[in-house]
């Protein structure tokens, strides 16, 4: 039924453009769908049958010089022809080609048979210059007209869609697949590939073989010309210029080689190339085109980047599937299902041969139900899901990732011209006066200076791209955040690294941005993403930051371990601070950090219960780190977010809840006390509670460790607040003898960390012993309670005059008081 | 057959008012019109072609103008896979969380394919082997000894001998040993009766549709041997928020009317809110797709959303002012979300603090939730 659709659009009697594709006389206009395996096969068959004297291909003519490289055995598709403006590597276009691209097939055929092959599209010098006013994503390029139509943001006519709708299809891709991609020239659907191999030009049926293999192109040309009559340029005014240029090139080629010329171009252009126009009219169209100096080279490409989801206009959904269709010698569905089964088995899923059989049956019956000539990707995917994946989309995602898109990575021989990234790097090295030298040298940067900051960014970006030119080293002397020290050494193999990094982009900035973004998406651990975020800030990649932040927020949301979150937060807070030094916009970062802090506030209290001593100790460190980070965040841009209050509430909860490990309770109490968020009376009450006789001594000792442990001035607290010391003293003397040995190591650890002076003072205080109950009650100054016999009036009087002198107050009222 | 068993016996008299007619009776006209218009090849003993079965489920208009109502609103792809599975005489397993129309789809598939949706085995923890294979009429057995007359065939046995579509509901609730007796039926397509030295061989057209709930893990997990005999189709939850709100409000309206609850027009915002909360937590991502969330352990199906709203309506009607307010649904949502007191509570609090608090117009809802969560 699909063939009928084309036939209906192009009745055999009409030969307005069909004459151009007649088998015996050229030129043969082979309209294709870029990256269509069916088109590629058809093109190959047509070339074999017609044996043209020259092959012309839609592509930038500057690339002619690079064409012989395609025959290099070290050249492995997918690759892309890359054109970029010499003085602005950021302005670039890509012409990606996979093994199953018709253009690639045609190039290889021509090179293998010693047939001249040329690119005939508008030179990149013009198309890149034209590109300037509306900078779009690379690859949107001029070459993918009929496909670009689908991808254009502006609504333009999609010729394939119109044809598909005429044929009663709702999905243009499916229609094209049914009509063209699944047809092989011999008309045998299952073993087309084998027949192709056998079908030599002078093959079994010389009379109708050329006509047969060219028939699809004739029909397609008919359909396209009908469409172009209805839609004109289809909303792509620039196509007229390109087609004029192609016509001129075609004329030149015909002068040189006669009519035996084959043209491989997007199906949309076929009618325009066949149109009869005057040379003068075509020349007029090309007048006054802007021009820019360009360079071209081959770069390795990947299937993933061919896939539409990576944002390249010329992309296709399923390069892996197309590659399979192109490569499979016969029985493509059976072979595909076997591949899928192999993949799933490799991932330890139970998939038997019976599964494969049933999946093939289901796919073929589904195709019949849907009225398709052969099971396509949709049917096979449905069958794989229902039979092999038990209806689940999870293993299916694996199939999509590994097989339907595929992981194929192209290779380009070393002899290919340098990638623009290298030029951009050389340029930056010149402007920043940073010579690539093999000998090792140290470089100190002051980030407050413009040039130094730019140098630092360049080095950080290169590190992100795995071009290890500079290694950061610990700064000498100053530890300020505005200093940075590097050890530089340029090894020859770094050139190779730069070339490899060329897949990521044409400038250091765009390449680093693209790589950071892809790393962020691929990262699994929260800490990796945080590190990446820090790196992005250091390297000055504001465009990568949103992606990284999104990844960070996603990982944080799904990470159930508060510990990971708590580990990530300090780095973020630090990044925010660095951001200030480097004047990067960190609003997104602050938002994510706040979100992270919020999650920690929610998750921390439950995470602090039921811990063993080691776990509690680790978590105490995290509580402290988070406390510090939240302090940093709170002093930042937006006060009044209430984060501080919520964190205080969490600390209160930690301090008060019984089930939480003693060391954390103690630390929370202490943090609150230090911040002045906890009245001293309350702290004393909590301490009394923690040290009351009902508590196991080990717990109480842990509490003390948490409260006054570490070198953070805990000792001074005890020295100055004798009430707290009194509580500790009372508790310690009350510990039963048999348990005293248990708590001793912990206490020793707590107190041995104090400075000697503090320890001595504490010791002296303790030696004096607590105030006897009676004496304390008689005392006039209740606030002092604790150690010692209270105020000694005589000694106090002796000090007083000096104090008054120090405070600058007159002695007279003192006399009155005494 | 002297003694008819289970469902086959309770066919209602024509014209009698039954509470819920079978699919093949309720939609007899549509099936007839489809059969008349259907000129595509039909597999053996199928009433309709696979294409017509798919149309019957998804709805459409026939050339003669008959409108076929959609029975299942969902991806056409799923229906096509399901029908194709039956056409390739593989057994079909419909999986899904409760309330995703598994039984509904299986009933209509059986009605369209075989014209009879009553050959049904209801799976329970107590489903005996007799329900899957055959039982005995003991009076006959004692009086005349073992014979075909004394045999009471199961719905499955009948489907095999008549080339019909049988249905097994809640396959995973059936004990493992009873499940296993399905393996022979599905792979050998035969049911031996050793007592009589006979067997019942399935004739062309026999097939089996099973439904199972994929959220109740570990009830009676299918053995891989049995699982291999099925093609699996997972029926998804409603695809868009609007569709789900529509389903919830329609059901709430029906239930509310039967409970004599006052309908409240303001309730729609709350219903939308409940559906949004359920969807976001279920999908693990906010509706705007910008923030990821942890998902709680509960199912949070559409059916639960319906019960939360119905409860809220009852609260509002009996203890409030009759208008559904955030406070009326907050407790219900909390109960539905927090199934595991430790982990789910964290999930819920995170959701409250990171999503609900910031959202415009959700202040009162946030406050109500804080109140019940505290």
Instruction: Give residue-wise pLDDT tens across range B360-373.
Output: 888 888 888 888 87
Question: Given this model, what pLDDT does residue B265 score?
Answer: 58
Structural domain contains residue A642 = yes
CATH superfamily assigned to domain B6-234: P-loop containing nucleotide triphosphate hydrolases (3.40.50.300)
Kindly report which listed range (A455-464, A557-566, A596-605) carries the lowest average pLDDT score: A557-566
Domain boundaries, chain B: 6-234, 241-373
**Inter-chain contact B232–A391, Cβ cutoff 8 Å?**
yes
CA-based nearest distance B247→chain A, Å = 24
Structure tokens at A815: 């006399």
Same domain? A136 vs A190: yes
Structure tokens at B22: 């079978």
One DSSP character per residue, B181-193 reads HHHHHHHH-EEEE
Tens digit of pLDDT per residue, chain B (374 long)? 334 444 444 444 555 567 778 889 988 999 999 999 988 889 989 999 999 999 999 888 888 888 888 888 778 888 999 999 998 878 999 998 877 778 889 999 999 999 999 999 998 888 999 999 999 999 999 998 888 889 999 999 999 999 999 999 999 889 999 999 999 899 899 999 998 999 999 999 999 999 998 776 557 888 888 888 899 999 888 878 887 887 777 777 767 766 666 665 566 788 888 889 998 888 888 887 777 788 888 878 887 888 888 888 888 888 877 778 888 888 888 888 888 888 888 888 888 888 888 888 888 888 888 888 76
Predicted local distance difference test score (pLDDT) of residue B216: 67
Q: Is B228 on the interface with A (CB under 8 A)?
A: yes
Based on the domain organization, do A96 and A202 belong to the same domain? yes
User: At residue A711, does pLDDT exceed 60?
Assistant: no
- Best of A391, A553, A560, A638 to disrupt the B interface (most B CBs within 10 Å) is A391
Q: Mean pLDDT over residues A110-121, rounded?
A: 90
Give residue B16's pLDDT.
Answer: 56
* Inter-chain Cβ pairs, chain A and chain B, closer than 8 A: 86
The most confident of A301-310, A458-467, A723-732, by mean pLDDT? A458-467
* CB spacing of B88 vs A370 below 8 angstroms: no
For residue A364, the chain B residue with the least C-alpha distance is B84
* Residue numbers of B between 332 and 371 with CB closer than 8 Å to A: 342-343, 345-346, 349-350, 353-354
Contact flag A557-B293 (C-beta cutoff 8 Å) = yes
* Cβ–Cβ gap B84/A598 under 8 Å: no
Both A224 and A174 in one domain: the answer is yes
Q: Which pLDDT does position A773 carry in this prediction?
A: 47
Residue A415 lies in a domain: no
Are A591 and A442 in a shared domain? no
The residue of chain A nearest to residue B95, with distances taken between CA atoms, is: A391
Cross-chain Cβ contact B354/A355 below 8 Å: no
Identify all chain B residues contacting A557, using CB atoms and an 8 Å cutoff: 291-294, 350, 354
Domain assignment of residue A225, yes or no: yes
Residue of A nearest to B346 (CA): A603
Out of A242-256, A307-321, A525-539, B360-374, pick the least confident: A307-321
CA distance A718 to A722: 6
Cα of B298 to nearest chain A Cα, Å: 17
- In a mutagenesis test of the B interface, which of A1, A365, A556 is the best target, namely the one with the most B β-carbons within 10 Å? A365
What pLDDT was estimated at residue A194? 34
Q: Are the beta carbons of A658 and A666 closer than 8 angstroms?
A: no
pLDDT at A699: 81
Mean pLDDT for the stretch of residues A333-342:
92
Check pLDDT > 90 for residue A489: no
pLDDT of A712? 59
Say if residue A669 is in the same domain as residue A690. Answer: no
Residue B88 to residue A602, Cβ atoms within 8 A: no
Q: Which of A340, A311, A266 is nearest to A101 (CA)?
A: A266
Q: Which residues of A touch B (CB under 8 A)?
A: 350, 352, 354-355, 358, 361-362, 365-366, 369-370, 378, 382-383, 385-387, 389-392, 550, 553-554, 557-558, 560, 595, 598-599, 601-603, 606
Same domain for A548 and A614? yes
The tokens 């007048």 sit on which residue?
Answer: A287
Outline where A466-586 has alpha helix (H).
494-501, 508-522, 526-539, 545-558, 562-581
DSSP reduced 3-state for B166: strand
- pLDDT category at A341 given cuts 50, 70, 90 is very high
Mutation pick from A390, A552, A556, A562 vs chain B, by most beta carbons of B within 10 Å, is: A390
Angle between helices A680-690 and A722-734 in degrees, nearest 10: 10
B139 reaches A (C-beta below 8 A): no
Does residue A5 surpass a pLDDT of 80?
A: no
State the pLDDT at residue B302: 81
Q: How many domains does chain A have?
A: 6
Q: Which residue of A has its CA nearest to B293?
A: A557
B3 or A607, higher pLDDT: A607
Q: Do B84 and A366 touch (CB under 8 A)?
A: yes
pLDDT at A785: 45
pLDDT at A438 over 70: yes
Integer Cα distance of A709 and A669 in angstroms = 12
- Helices marked H in B224-342: 224-227, 241-258, 267-283, 302-319, 326-337
CA of A490 vs chain B CAs: smallest distance (Å): 42
Interchain pair A352, B228: CB under 8 A: yes
- For an interface test with B, give the residue of A341, A602, A608, A643 to mutate (most B CBs within 10 A): A602
Please give the residue that has the higher pLDDT: either B109 or A661.
Answer: B109
Kindly state whether B137 is in contact with chain A, defined as any CB-CB distance less than 8 angstroms: no
DSSP A297-361: EEEE-BHHHHBGGGT-TT-BS-HHHHHHHHH--S-HHHHHHHHHHHHHHHTT----HHHHHHHHH
- Helices B76-87 & B102-114, crossing angle to 10 degrees? 50
Name every residue whose Cβ is closer than 8 Å to that of residue A295 and which is 6 or more positions away in sequence.
A83, A84, A86, A417, A420, A423
Task: Flag whether A494 is in a domain.
Answer: yes
The boundaries of the domain holding residue A810 are 792-818
Determine, for residues B292 and A554 on separate chains, whether the beta-carbon distance falls below 8 Å.
yes
What average pLDDT score do residues A627-639 get? Answer: 70
What pLDDT shows up at residue A638? 52
Of A741 and B93, the structure prediction assigns the larger pLDDT to B93
Task: Give the separation between CA B247 and CA B243, rounded to whole angstroms.
Answer: 6
Assess if residue A19 is contained within a domain.
yes
Residues A235 and A363 placed together within one structural domain of the fold: no
* Domain final residue, candidates A476, A508, A540: A508
Distance (Å) from the alpha carbon of A650 to chain B's nearest alpha carbon = 13
**Residue A812 token pair:** 């007279």
- ipTM computed for the complex: 0.75
CA B271 to chain A, closest CA, distance in angstroms equals 26
* pLDDT digit string, tens, across residues A191-237: 333 333 333 333 333 344 455 777 778 888 888 888 888 776 666 67
Both A640 and A760 in a single domain?
no
Round to whole Å and give the CA distance between A4 and A104: 30
CB contact under 8 A, B233 and A370: no
Q: Is residue A88 part of a domain?
A: yes
Instruction: Say if A480 falls within a structural domain.
Output: yes
Q: Tell me which of A784-788, A803-807, B343-347 is least confident.
A: A784-788
* Neighbour count for residue A800 (Cβ, 10 Å): 14
A377 and A484 share one domain? no
User: Which chain A residues are within 8 Å of B93, Cβ to Cβ?
Assistant: 391
| Domain-located, residue A484 | yes
Determine the pLDDT at residue B266: 63
Q: What is residue B353's predicted lDDT score, i.e. its pLDDT?
A: 84
Residues in a beta bridge with B95: B212, B234
Mean pLDDT in residue range A46-53: 88
How high is the mean pLDDT of chain A?
A: 76
Lowest mean pLDDT among A185-199, A276-290, A554-568, A735-749: A185-199
**Same domain, yes or no: A141 and A254:** yes
Is the same domain home to A48 and A151?
yes
Judge if A760 and A727 occupy the same domain: yes
Contact A201, A48 (CB under 8 A): yes
Enumerate the residues of chain A whose CB falls inside 8 A of the CB of residue B80: 366, 369-370, 382
Residues of B in contact with A595 (CB under 8 A): 354
Q: Does B374 touch chain A (CB under 8 A)?
A: no
Q: Average pLDDT for residues A253-266, to the nearest whole number?
A: 88
**pLDDT top residue among B90 and A694:** B90
Q: What does residue B9 show for φ and ψ, rounded to 5 degrees?
A: -80, -20
């Amino acid at each position: 039924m699909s063939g009928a659709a084309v036939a209906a659009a192009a009745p055999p009697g009409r030969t307005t453009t069909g004459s151009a594709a007649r088998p015996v006389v050229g030129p043969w206009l082979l309209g294709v769908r870029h990256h269509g395996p069916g088109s590629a096969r058809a093109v190959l068959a047509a070339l074999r049958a017609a044996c043209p004297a020259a092959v012309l291909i839609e592509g930038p003519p500057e690339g002619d010089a690079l064409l012989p490289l395609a025959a290099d055995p070290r050249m492995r598709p997918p690759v892309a022809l890359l054109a970029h403006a010499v003085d602005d590597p950021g302005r670039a276009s890509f012409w990606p080609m996979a093994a199953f691209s018709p253009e690639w097939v045609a190039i290889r055929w021509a090179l293998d048979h010693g047939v001249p092959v040329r690119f005939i599209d508008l030179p990149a010098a013009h198309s890149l210059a034209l590109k300037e006013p509306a900078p779009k994503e690379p690859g949107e390029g001029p070459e993918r007209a009929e496909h670009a139509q689908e991808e254009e943001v502006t609504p333009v006519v999609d010729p394939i869609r119109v044809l598909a709708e005429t044929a009663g299809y709702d999905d243009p891709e499916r229609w094209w697949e049914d009509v063209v991609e699944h047809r092989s020239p011999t008309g045998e659907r299952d073993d087309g590939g084998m027949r192709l191999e056998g079908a030599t030009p002078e093959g079994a049926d010389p009379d109708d073989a050329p006509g047969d293999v060219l028939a699809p192109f004739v029909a397609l040309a008919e359909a396209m010309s009908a469409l172009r009559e209805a839609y004109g340029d289809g909303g792509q005014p620039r196509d007229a210029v390109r087609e004029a240029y192609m016509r001129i090139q075609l004329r030149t080629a015909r002068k040189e080689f006669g009519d035996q010329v084959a043209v491989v171009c997007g199906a949309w252009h076929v009618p325009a190339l066949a149109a009869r126009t005057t040379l003068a009219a075509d020349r007029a169209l090309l007048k006054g085109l802007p021009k820019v100096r360009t360079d071209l080279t081959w770069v390795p490409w990947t299937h993933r980047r061919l896939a539409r989801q990576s944002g390249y206009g010329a992309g296709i959904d399923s390069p892996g599937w197309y590659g399979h269709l192109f490569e499979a010698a016969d029985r493509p569905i059976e072979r595909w299902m076997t591949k899928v089964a192999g993949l799933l088995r490799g991932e330890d899923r139970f998939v038997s041969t019976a599964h494969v059989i049933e999946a093939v049956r289901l796919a073929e019956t589904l195709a019949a139900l849907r009225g398709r000539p052969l099971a396509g990707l949709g049917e096979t995917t449905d069958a794989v899901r229902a039979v092999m994946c038990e209806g689940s989309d999870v293993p299916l995602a694996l199939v999509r990732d590994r097989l339907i898109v595929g992981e194929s990575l192209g290779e380009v021989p070393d002899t290919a011209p340098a990638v623009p990234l290298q030029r951009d790097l050389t340029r930056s090295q010149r402007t920043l006066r940073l010579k690539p030298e093999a000998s090792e040298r140290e470089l100190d940067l002051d980030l407050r200076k413009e040039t130094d900051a730019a140098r630092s960014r360049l080095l950080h970006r290169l590190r992100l791209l795995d071009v290890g030119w500079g290694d950061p080293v610990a700064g000498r002397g100053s530890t300020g955040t505005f200093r940075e020290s590097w050890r530089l050494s340029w090894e020859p193999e770094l050139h190779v690294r730069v070339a490899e990094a060329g897949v990521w982009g044409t400038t250091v900035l765009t390449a680093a941005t693209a790589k950071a973004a892809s790393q962020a998406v691929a990262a699994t651990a929260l800490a990796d993403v945080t590190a990446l975020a820090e790196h992005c800030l250091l390297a000055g990649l504001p465009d990568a930051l949103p992606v990284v932040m999104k990844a960070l927020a996603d990982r944080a949301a799904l990470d159930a371990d508060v510990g990971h979150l708590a580990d990530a937060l300090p780095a973020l807070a630090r990044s925010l601070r660095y951001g200030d030094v480097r004047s990067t916009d960190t609003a997104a970062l602050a938002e994510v950090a706040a979100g992270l802090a919020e999650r920690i506030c929610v998750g921390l209290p439950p995470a602090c219960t039921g811990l063993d001593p080691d776990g509690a100790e680790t978590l105490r460190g995290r509580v402290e780190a988070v406390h510090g980070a939240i302090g940093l965040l709170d002093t930042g841009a937006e006060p009044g977010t209430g984060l501080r209050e919520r964190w205080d509430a969490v600390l209160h909860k930690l301090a008060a809840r019984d089930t939480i490990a003693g060391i954390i309770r103690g630390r929370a109490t202490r943090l609150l006390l230090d911040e002045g968020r906890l009245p001293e009376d309350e702290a004393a009450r909590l301490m009394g509670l923690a040290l009351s006789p009902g508590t196991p001594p080990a717990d109480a000792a842990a509490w003390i460790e948490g409260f006054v442990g570490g070198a953070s001035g805990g000792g001074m607290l005890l020295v100055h607040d004798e009430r707290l010391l009194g509580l500790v003293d009372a508790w310690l003397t009350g510990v039963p003898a048999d348990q005293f040995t248990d708590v001793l190591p912990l206490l020793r650890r707590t107190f041995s960390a104090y400075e000697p002076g503090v320890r001595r003072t504490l010791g002296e205080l303790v030696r004096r012993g607590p105030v006897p109950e009676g004496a304390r009650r008689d005392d006039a100054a209740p606030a002092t309670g604790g150690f010692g016999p209270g105020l000694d009036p005589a000694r106090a009087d002796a000090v007083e005059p000096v104090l008054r002198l120090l405070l600058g107050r007159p002695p007279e009222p003192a006399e009155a008081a005494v | 057959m002297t003694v008819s068993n289970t469902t086959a016996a309770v066919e209602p008299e024509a014209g009698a008012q039954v509470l819920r007619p079978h699919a093949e009776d309720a939609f007899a006209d549509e099936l007839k019109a489809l059969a008349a218009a259907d000129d595509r090849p039909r597999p053996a003993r199928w009433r309709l072609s696979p294409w017509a079965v798919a149309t019957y489920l998804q709805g459409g208009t026939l050339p003669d103008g008959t409108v076929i109502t959609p029975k299942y609103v969902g991806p056409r792809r799923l229906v096509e896979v399901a029908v194709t599975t039956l056409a390739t005489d593989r057994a079909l397993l419909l999986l899904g969380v409760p309330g995703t129309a598994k039984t509904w789809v299986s009933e209509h598939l059986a009605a369209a394919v075989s014209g009879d949706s009553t050959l049904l085995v209801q799976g329970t923890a107590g489903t005996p082997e007799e329900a899957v294979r055959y039982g005995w009429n003991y009076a006959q057995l004692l009086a005349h000894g073992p014979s075909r007359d004394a045999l009471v065939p199961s719905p499955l046995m009948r489907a095999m001998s008549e080339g019909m579509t049988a249905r097994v509901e809640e396959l995973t609730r059936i004990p493992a040993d009873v499940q296993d007796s399905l393996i022979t039926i599905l792979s050998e397509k035969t049911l031996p009766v050793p007592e009589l030295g006979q067997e019942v061989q399935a004739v062309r057209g026999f097939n089996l549709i099973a439904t199972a709930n994929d959220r109740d893990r570990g009830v009676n997990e299918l053995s891989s041997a049995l699982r291999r005999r099925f093609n699996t189709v997972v029926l998804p939850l409603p695809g868009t928020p609007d569709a789900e709100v529509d389903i919830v409000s329609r059901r709430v309206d029906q239930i509310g009317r039967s409970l004599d609850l006052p309908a409240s027009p303001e309730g729609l915002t709350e219903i939308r809110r409940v559906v949004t909360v359920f969807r976001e937590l279920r999908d693990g991502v906010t509706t705007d797709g910008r923030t990821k969330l942890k998902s709680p352990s509960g199912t949070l199906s559409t059916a639960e959303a319906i019960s939360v709203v119905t409860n809220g309506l009852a609260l509002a009607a009996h203890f409030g002012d009759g208008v559904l307010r955030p406070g009326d649904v907050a407790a219900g949502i909390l109960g539905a979300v927090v199934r595991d007191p430790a982990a789910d509570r964290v999930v819920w609090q995170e959701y409250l603090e990171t999503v609900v608090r910031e959202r415009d117009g959700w202040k009162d809802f946030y406050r109500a939730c804080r109140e019940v969560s505290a």
